[in-house]
A and B are shown apart, each in its own frame.
Chain A
Amino acid sequence: MKDVIVIHDITSESEWKNIFEVCINHCNKFDIIFTEDKLDEDNRFITGKKEFKNLRNVTIKPWDGMDNSIIISGSLDSEARKLIYKYTSPSFEGGVNDLWHYNIYKDDILFLGIQDFSVCLLENHAGVLELLKDIGVDPQTLED
């Protein structure tokens, strides 16, 4: 059994919007990775960095997955949810998600992760499978 279900390209996955929405509405924690590049509006890799840093009750630490990067963690409250939605939602209609790398969790269980802008990893966990079932998505079809 696989550890994760991989959606290789969210922008071409017809169920992506439903999957994202059911997960983000169910989850209550998040973390997001940004590089330590200088703030530059043309640098897509730090889109939203300032806004996420300014959220209440977030912690900011170095990320061990890449040199000179930070991980911002916090509660997935309505503000954080709106922010993630704002930058991810263009990908529902053929546009792009502008957040490079983030994860959302229910308590401490990882549900959904975005990597490299357009790859989605869904944990092969009973909670995730239950959500997929609720929206009528067969996980077997997602990696085709």
Chain B
Amino acid sequence: MKVRKRKIILSLLAVILMFSLVAPNLTSAESAGLLWKSKRFGDNLVVSITNVHKGWAGPKFPRTTTPHVNVHVDKLNSYNNRVAKEIANYHVVKYKKQNKSCIYIYESKKKKTVMDQCATSWNTLVSKATSAMKSFAQAISPNDNFTLIAVFSAAAVTLYKLITSFIPVYPSDAIPDGEIVYTEADFITEAQPSNDLTGYIEETADGLYDSIQEDVPIAELPTLTETSIDNVENINTLYVSPANDTLKVTLDVGGNNSDLDLDILNEVPRYTVENSVGTIVKTGTMGTFIRRLSVNNTYEYEYRNTVSISTSGLPAGDYRIKIYMFKSIFPEIFPELTQQFYINTNRTITNFSS
């Protein structure tokens, strides 16, 4: 179980990094302080993500007013659902250094810098950060099949909103090129402060905050229908092959806001099927959403949409299906909306993989 928890933690960090680095400035901050209402994973683990707030955020930002978010991973008592133990408390800072964009993550329970990377382009940083997190997870547990997708799905919309309003911090010019206190080179590419923080506190907290500049759009993403995705908290897909030359797709969307009703009932998802070289060989629309009782009462509002797609005209080979919702596809946010599959010569469909 320990390994599973660590992978969840790492997965969340990967999510934050991914979305912090690819998302443009599209939305304003969530109104509530706690952006992601605590969600449970596994054995009484609960994960909470805060809104951006001022505070202490790790040795690299020793002032007490650094804008940051926290990811709390806690364990609940089984008898009263109260937090019994804090597993991790991540402080995540998005900052600028010269012309570079950077992400710093400090875990204050273990007193460890988890990541501190900069890049001239956000895309480069996304790639570095993601591969670093994945390789770290694999190093911990190469045989654990726990997938990142569940966490991605559950956290995606909230994190997207959070990060798009997450302004970068400009650290003091006096940052010394001190020793690197965390030796995982894959994670830490920036100099870390030495134990002597003299020089860090020359600039006032007010000065630091005043120097914050608006972030610039960092990547091209499709236009979002903001109102709609606001209310979606989870998407699950199931791809099966119930008969030869038939691909059945089940799409479940969940949320707790009654507005989701309006959003989803007006939504008709589309799909495309691409062959192995990326050519679209088939397009279509899914059915209409039907409200259903949520499994385990996870969501107050849950809807299902199913479609059976004929593949009879397609030659055997590798394909990828992509589902488009709310006028756009969000593979980064809902990675399960795309799925690879293989049409065999006997016309069965196998090898589903994301």
Q: Show the binding face of A for B, using Cβ within 8 Å.
A: 1-4, 6, 8-9, 11-12, 34-37, 42-45, 64-69, 94-96, 98, 101, 113, 115-119, 121
User: Nearest Cβ in chain B — how far from A69, in angstroms?
Assistant: 5
- Sampled A-B contacts (28; CB under 8 Å): A2-B62, A2-B197, A2-B201, A11-B86, A35-B33, A36-B32, A44-B74, A44-B83, A45-B33, A45-B50, A64-B54, A66-B52, A67-B30, A68-B33, A69-B53, A96-B85, A98-B82, A113-B64, A115-B55, A116-B50, A116-B72, A116-B89, A116-B91, A116-B108, A117-B86, A118-B86, A119-B56, A121-B64
Note all chain B residues with C-beta closer than 8 A to A113: 64
B29 close to chain A: CB less than 8 A? yes
Report yes or no: A65 in contact with B33, Cβ–Cβ below 8 A: no
Report yes or no: A37 in contact with B86, Cβ–Cβ below 8 A: no
B237 close to chain A: CB less than 8 A? no
Report yes or no: B53 in contact with A95, Cβ–Cβ below 8 A: no
Report yes or no: A36 in contact with B86, Cβ–Cβ below 8 A: no
Q: Show the binding face of B for A, using Cβ within 8 Å.
A: 29-34, 37-38, 48, 50-56, 62-65, 70, 72, 74, 81-86, 89, 91, 108-109, 111, 197-198, 201
Q: Determine chain B's interface SS by DSSP, over half rule.
A: loop
In the complex, residue of chain B having the shortest beta-carbon distance to the beta carbon of A69: B33
Note all chain B residues with C-beta closer than 8 A to A35: 32-34, 51
Among B30, B64, B89, B197, contact of A117 (Cβ-Cβ < 8 Å): B89
A131 CA to B126 CA in the complex, in Å? 47
Provided the pairs A98-B83, A117-B86 are in contact, do residues A37 and B38 lie with their beta carbons within 8 angstroms?
A: no
Report yes or no: B83 in contact with A96, Cβ–Cβ below 8 A: yes
User: Nearest Cβ in chain A — how far from B166, in angstroms?
Assistant: 12
Report yes or no: B54 in contact with A65, Cβ–Cβ below 8 A: yes
Report yes or no: A115 in contact with B38, Cβ–Cβ below 8 A: no
Count: A-B pairs, CB below 8 Å: 106
User: Nearest Cβ in chain B — how far from A110, in angstroms?
Assistant: 9
Note all chain A residues with C-beta closer than 8 A to B33: 34-37, 45, 66-69
Report yes or no: B54 in contact with A66, Cβ–Cβ below 8 A: yes
Note all chain B residues with C-beta closer than 8 A to A64: 54
Note all chain B residues with C-beta closer than 8 A to A2: 62, 197, 201
Report yes or no: B31 in contact with A36, Cβ–Cβ below 8 A: yes
Note all chain B residues with C-beta closer than 8 A to A118: 86, 89, 108-109
Report yes or no: A43 in contact with B38, Cβ–Cβ below 8 A: yes
User: Nearest Cβ in chain A — how far from B128, in angstroms?
Assistant: 26
A35 CA to B52 CA in the complex, in Å? 12
User: Nearest Cβ in chain B — how far from A7, in angstroms?
Assistant: 9
Report yes or no: B38 in contact with A42, Cβ–Cβ below 8 A: yes
User: Nearest Cβ in chain B — how far from A33, in angstroms?
Assistant: 8
Among A65, A68, A98, A117, contact of B31 (Cβ-Cβ < 8 Å): A68
Note all chain B residues with C-beta closer than 8 A to A95: 84-85
A2 CA to B194 CA in the complex, in Å? 13
Report yes or no: A121 in contact with B56, Cβ–Cβ below 8 A: yes
Report yes or no: B29 in contact with A67, Cβ–Cβ below 8 A: yes
Q: Which 9 A-B pairs have the closest CB atoms?
A: A35-B33, A66-B53, A65-B54, A8-B108, A115-B55, A45-B34, A67-B29, A37-B32, A8-B111
A98 CA to B48 CA in the complex, in Å? 14
Note all chain A residues with C-beta closer than 8 A to B53: 65-66, 69, 101
In the complex, residue of chain B having the shortest beta-carbon distance to the beta carbon of A12: B109
In the complex, residue of chain A having the shortest beta-carbon distance to the beta carbon of B197: A2
In the complex, residue of chain A having the shortest beta-carbon distance to the beta carbon of B110: A9
Report yes or no: A43 in contact with B34, Cβ–Cβ below 8 A: yes
Provided the pairs A9-B111, A69-B33 are in contact, do residues A4 and B64 lie with their beta carbons within 8 angstroms?
A: yes
Note all chain A residues with C-beta closer than 8 A to B52: 66-67
Note all chain A residues with C-beta closer than 8 A to B34: 35, 37, 43, 45
A114 CA to B29 CA in the complex, in Å? 24
Note all chain B residues with C-beta closer than 8 A to A34: 33
A2 CA to B64 CA in the complex, in Å? 12
Report yes or no: A116 in contact with B55, Cβ–Cβ below 8 A: yes
Note all chain A residues with C-beta closer than 8 A to B111: 8-9
